[in-house]
Amino acid sequence: MVININLNPTVPPLPNITDKKNVDVRYILVSPYVTAHLYWNKEISELVYEIEEPVLQENEKEALEKLERAMLELININVAVEKNLEATTSYIDKTARLLIDELNMKISSETYEKIFYYLFRDFIGLNEIDPVLRDYFVEDIECNGIDTPVYIIHRIYRNMRTNIRYTDMEKLASFVEKLAQRTGRYISYAQPLLDGTLPDGSRVNATYTKDVTSKGPTFTIRKFTKIPWTPTQLIGFHNVSPEMLAYFWMLLQYKSNILIAGGTASGKTTLLNALAFFIPPEARVVSLEDTREINLPRENWLPAVARPAVGLSKGGEIDLFAILKNSFRQNPDYLIVGEIRGKEAFVLFQGMASGHASLSTMHADSVDTLIRRLQTPPIELSPTLVNTLDCVAIMTHATMGQKETRRLREIVEIVNVDKDGTAVVSTPFTWNAANDSFYFKKQSKVFEKISIRYGIPVIKLQKEMMTRTKLLYELYKRKIFGFTEVEEIINNYYKNPVQVLADFNIEE
Ligand SMILES: Nc1ncnc2c1ncn2[C@@H]1O[C@H](COP(=O)(O)OP(=O)(O)OP(=O)(O)O)[C@@H](O)[C@H]1O
Ligand SMILES: [Mg+2]
């Protein structure tokens, strides 16, 4: 029997529900073992987040405990962690089977599958909260001690209590030690505070003693999503066309302002990260976000993360608005804001009006909605400020065959926003769902702006865009997908385009 475990099941679109009482959704976290069930619990009048794991019978529980004990004696957890996942998974599998043999345990293959999941979870993963950590929609996990539910912050439904609860002080303490170990730090009664980073980039805060907090050890984890996809990977997934990327490359080089819009989990942040590859290597970039997701392929970069008033930092809240204002002191060439939601948009647009280029995302399904939302509370920008926006890329969910995927549905340029707030737009790029193709329909109005600002003829900009299209397509054809490889080629292109084109046999 082959063990089959998929830690990255596809992220489904979740309905945005205004009345929390109607929430009732389920999705897979670890296929085929674990699902999350989110629903309104009438008895407590609260939204709950329930992890549904394989159910073990009494005798199965005993078998699992026996195996875990034996395994603990045998393997060094640190060795097992964070190497290659496939290798560690098969290592756990082999060791478990060996022990079952040695201990002469009778275990059916059905039971073994379930037990394997728990071994995997507890040895490779982070125990009870492991599936929660793997949930794309979870931003924050918070445990305030024993005998109280672990809470999460969900991207869509916000604060929710989970069905995870630590009841044993010792067990929670040893879990916090494990967290510390994974961050490469040390926590003890003498040093009871932990502030560290997990291997995947998530931030951990924890306390160890009973004195610091009343209910025993506590922890808060702010999640960090994975390594970003590169522009060529997005071409590979057919999320965008090479022309679209080359267009953004031109816009970014000439300091334009780009906003990525779309629904929840439509791939906005993914696209933002990929576009950041096109920012000139020597430019100074400041990024700001609520949850750490942005990971830029560059050195000249100052990342900042807003601090929420949760867990230990209660009272120490620093919001996006505050850090955004502060960031202008660092005089960035480019400002990247993970997601704009409220009053920070005002600071961002002022920055754009005074010549800082910007790249950010915002939740909106269409340009009309977006333009309206920018001009109504809580954002309330003047039409003049909205005018500083050059273009909006709209991401969307798409189901192709059986597969759930993402597409860049259209790129809309803001030509002018009138005094009454209505916008004149132009749509150079569109995606046609019927045949799943991208079209470059019209000339770019933003190129005209760039042409005036920089004194470069539009035709030259167009030609350059076509050259870059060829280059990106060639990189994709040669399967150059890696983060550092792609970064290097784009940076080299900025410094010595002729050489790079020659390297890839591209004629201008
Ligand atoms: N082309 C794609 N194909 C499949 N999955 C994708 C694709 N692009 C993004 N995803 C996945 O979808 C999830 C959401 O992506 P991302 O965070 O970029 O979306 P978002 O629009 O920024 O979401 P949010 O509304 O939460 O900010 C991620 O897990 C990401 O890996
Ligand atoms: Mg996002």
CB 487 within 8 A of CB 277: yes
Q: Please give the sequence-ordered ranges of beta strands (E in DSSP) within 42-76, or none if there are none.
A: 46-52
CB 357 within 8 A of CB 335: yes
Residue 10 Cα to ligand 2 midpoint, Å, equals: 16
Segments in the chain below pLDDT 70: 1-3, 76-83, 210-213, 225-226, 307-318
pTM, two decimals, is: 0.82
| C-alpha neighbours within 13 Å on the C-beta side of residue 460 | 7
CA distance 291 to 305: 7
3-class secondary structure, 350: helix
pLDDT at 309 (0 to 100): 45
Please name the helix (run of DSSP H) or strand (run of DSSP E) that holds residue 374, with its range, or none. helix 367-375
Which residue has tokens 């030690």?
177
Q: From its phi and psi, is residue 343 left (phi > 0), alpha (psi between -120 and 50) or beta? A: alpha
pLDDT at 83 (0 to 100): 59
Which amino acid does the sequence have at 22?
N
- DSSP codes joined into one string, 455-486: T--HHHHHHHHHHHHHHHHHHHHTT---HHHH
Residue 320 Cα to ligand 2 midpoint, Å, equals: 15
3-class secondary structure, 30: strand
Residue 349 Cα to ligand 2 midpoint, Å, equals: 19
CA distance 383 to 21: 38
- Domain segments of the chain: what residues? 1-137, 231-503
User: What percentage of the chain has pLDDT greater than the value 90?
Assistant: 66
CA distance 167 to 29: 24
**Class of the domain covering 1-137:** alpha beta
Which residue has tokens 């609260």?
46
Nearest ligand to the CA atom of 271 = 1
Which tokens in the block code for residue 123?
């040895």
CA distance 437 to 431: 6
Nearest by Cα to 188 from 203, 209, 168, 170: 209
CA distance 4 to 449: 54
pLDDT in tens, 253-306: 999 999 999 998 899 999 999 999 999 999 999 998 877 788 887 888 888 877
Best residue among 403, 406, 481 to mutate for probing ligand 1's pocket (most ligand atoms within 8 Å of CB) is: 406
Strand partners, 406: 397
Q: Report which ligand 1 atom has the smallest distance to the Cα of 234.
A: 1
CA distance 349 to 226: 29
Residues with CB under 6 A from ligand 1: 11, 136, 155, 237, 239, 262, 264-270, 339, 361, 363, 405-406
CB 120 within 8 A of CB 71: no
| C-alpha neighbours within 13 Å on the C-beta side of residue 318 | 13
CB 203 within 8 A of CB 221: yes
3-state secondary structure 404-448: EEEEEEEEEEEEEECCCCCEEEEEEEEEECCCCEEEECCCCHHHH
Residue 140 Cα to ligand 2 midpoint, Å, equals: 15
Q: Report which ligand 1 atom has the smallest distance to the Cα of 239.
A: 1
CA distance 438 to 241: 6
Strand partners, 19: none
3-class secondary structure, 172: helix
Residue 193 Cα to ligand 2 midpoint, Å, equals: 31
Nearest ligand to the CA atom of 155 = 1
Chain mean pLDDT for the chain:
89
Torsion of CA 227, 231, 232, 238, to 10 degrees: 100
End-to-end CA distance of the chain: 55
3-class secondary structure, 346: helix
CB 162 within 8 A of CB 152: yes
Residue 265 Cα to ligand 1 midpoint, Å, equals: 5
pLDDT at 314 (0 to 100): 41
Please confirm whether the linkage preceding 378 is cis (ω < 30° from 0): yes
CB 181 within 8 A of CB 199: no
1-137 and 231-503 share one fold: no
Q: Which residues contact 2 (CB under 8 A, 6 or more apart)?
A: none
Q: Report which ligand 1 atom has the smallest distance to the Cα of 395.
A: 21
Please name the helix (run of DSSP H) or strand (run of DSSP E) that holds residue 29, with its range, or none. strand 24-30
Superfamily designation of domain 231-503: P-loop containing nucleotide triphosphate hydrolases (3.40.50.300)
Q: Please give the sequence-ordered ranges of beta strands (E in DSSP) within 123-172, or none if there are none.
A: 138-143, 149-154, 158-165
